[in-house]
Amino acid sequence: MSIYKNAFVVVIGGKDAASGISGNLHHDSGFLIYGSQDDAGNFSQEYSKLVGSDFTLGGDAEIPKGAEVIIAEGQTFIIDAGITLTNSGTIDNEGTINNEGIIYNKGTLTGNPVKGHFPYHYITFDANYPASPAVDERYILQGETLPSDIFTRSGYTFQGWYDAPSGETKVETSAEPQTLYARWEAVPVPEPEPTVYYTVTLPFVEGAVTDPVAGDYDVESGSTFRFYLTLDTAYSQSQPVVTTSRGETLQPRTSDGAYLLKYVRTDVEVYIDGILLNPPPVANEPIRAATPEPEIWSENACLCIRLPEGRLLDSFRSTPGLNRRQLPTGIYIVQVGVTVRKVAVKVK
């Protein structure tokens, strides 16, 4: 087998077999790696060498896991624009790597730093708690800040990436292929807001009683205060008017008569008016008009009598001696001069 100038060759034989290269190997220029691979995919290198002062990679290539490439002092390894080299093995750069294309580094890259474009390193991000999925694998450009939004955890805040599950060293940028572990900090449970109370004042009212009784009561902000009003027997005909310092008029609830003071968000005073003593009872008797007194007088020696109906019963001139008049039975008032008598006329 002869390797001349710009050739990059990887030769892999079967299980427990040599690379398959037989006869004389003539390698005076270029890049040659050969070895064997077992059933598990592990590569066992037999030979790897870059021959010549420089080498330009002619197309996309991969250095397999288990292979080691040495770029000696004075040698230059060139990767042109549009070309991709994937390193799953080891590159020991004692010379120069000039990268205008892309290097994906999953293995080991030691020695002198790469010139030109930085390589991309293969990073495994571990959620470091029972998440699904638990890991995220991606290439990150060397020197680029590591992402912080790969995983989220309820009740925790993300604190950064570390090189060990228990913490160790915090890693903020990509520098080499590695596994990084998320660190989490529990969000502190906020202290509950203190409960705010306001005062509701029920008044003492003569002729009625409240339930609860008159006084000051602590009511939680935003809640409803309920009370009842019962009239004493002697005040039972009153029509209570219940108002508050908030300017509202409360009406009793139809179902149970309760007064509801809703949405208490400030101190409130309750006012109860219209509680009056019942008027005195009236006898159950017919109402009669006042009966005017009869009028009795004399005119020119005549007796004059006017009954309540305004009717004059009799008037006559008296004479000396006995004076007799026929009258219906009844009670009469007789006035003669200044003399006044009550007379009952009846039949014997």
- Of residues 35 and 127, which shows the higher confidence score? 127
27 plus 102 within the same structural domain: yes
65 pLDDT above the threshold of 50: yes
Residue type, 278: N
81 plus 16 within the same structural domain: yes
**pLDDT, averaged across the chain:** 84
304 plus 205 within the same structural domain: no
Residue 71 lies in a domain: yes
Residue at a domain's end among 223, 243, 273: 273
163 plus 82 within the same structural domain: no
Specify burial of residue 11 (Cβ count, 10 A radius: 0-12, 13-18, 19+): middle
Distances (CA, A) of 20 to 8, 10, 23, 24, 67: 17, 11, 10, 12, 17
Residue 167 lies in a domain: yes
The domain containing residue 327 runs over which residues?
Answer: 295-345
- Of residues 319 and 161, which shows the higher confidence score? 161
Residue 105 lies in a domain: yes
Residue 21 lies in a domain: yes
3-class DSSP state of 234: helix
109 plus 7 within the same structural domain: yes
302 plus 268 within the same structural domain: no
Backbone Cα Rg of the chain: 62
98 plus 20 within the same structural domain: yes
Specify burial of residue 296 (Cβ count, 10 A radius: 0-12, 13-18, 19+): middle
User: In which band, very low, low, confident or very high, does the pLDDT at 314 lie, cut at 50, 70 and 90?
Assistant: low
3-class DSSP state of 278: coil
7 plus 110 within the same structural domain: yes
Q: How far apart are CA 2 and CA 10, in angstroms?
A: 13
What was the pLDDT predicted at 329?
A: 75
Residue 104 lies in a domain: yes
- Average pLDDT of the segment spanning 66-75: 90
Q: What is the pLDDT of residues 226-249, one digit of tens each?
A: 999 999 999 999 999 999 999 999
Q: How far apart are CA 24 and CA 45, in angstroms?
A: 18
Q: What is the pLDDT of residues 6-55, one digit of tens each?
A: 556 565 555 554 445 555 666 666 777 777 777 777 777 777 778 778 88
4 pLDDT above the threshold of 80: no
Q: How far apart are CA 171 and CA 187, in angstroms?
A: 22
When mean pLDDT is compared across 12-21, 180-189, 290-299, 331-340, the lowest value belongs to: 12-21
Residue 287 lies in a domain: no
Q: What is the pLDDT of residues 182-224, one digit of tens each?
A: 999 999 988 888 999 999 999 999 999 999 999 999 999 999 9
Residue 74 token pair: 């004075």
pTM: 0.54
Q: How many CB atoms lie within 10 A of CB 177?
A: 21
32 plus 88 within the same structural domain: yes
226 phi and psi angles, rounded to 5 deg: -120, 140
User: In which band, very low, low, confident or very high, does the pLDDT at 310 lie, cut at 50, 70 and 90?
Assistant: very low
176 plus 213 within the same structural domain: no
- Of residues 256 and 339, which shows the higher confidence score? 256
Specify burial of residue 322 (Cβ count, 10 A radius: 0-12, 13-18, 19+): exposed
DSSP state at residue 15: T
What was the pLDDT predicted at 289?
A: 53
30 plus 50 within the same structural domain: yes
Give CA 307 to chain center in angstroms.
93
* Domains identified in the chain, total number: 4
Q: How far apart are CA 62 and CA 323, in angstroms?
A: 169
% of the chain residues with pLDDT over 70: 80
236 plus 181 within the same structural domain: no
Q: Are 104 and 159 in contact (CB under 8 A)?
A: no
What was the pLDDT predicted at 198?
A: 97
Residue 280 lies in a domain: no
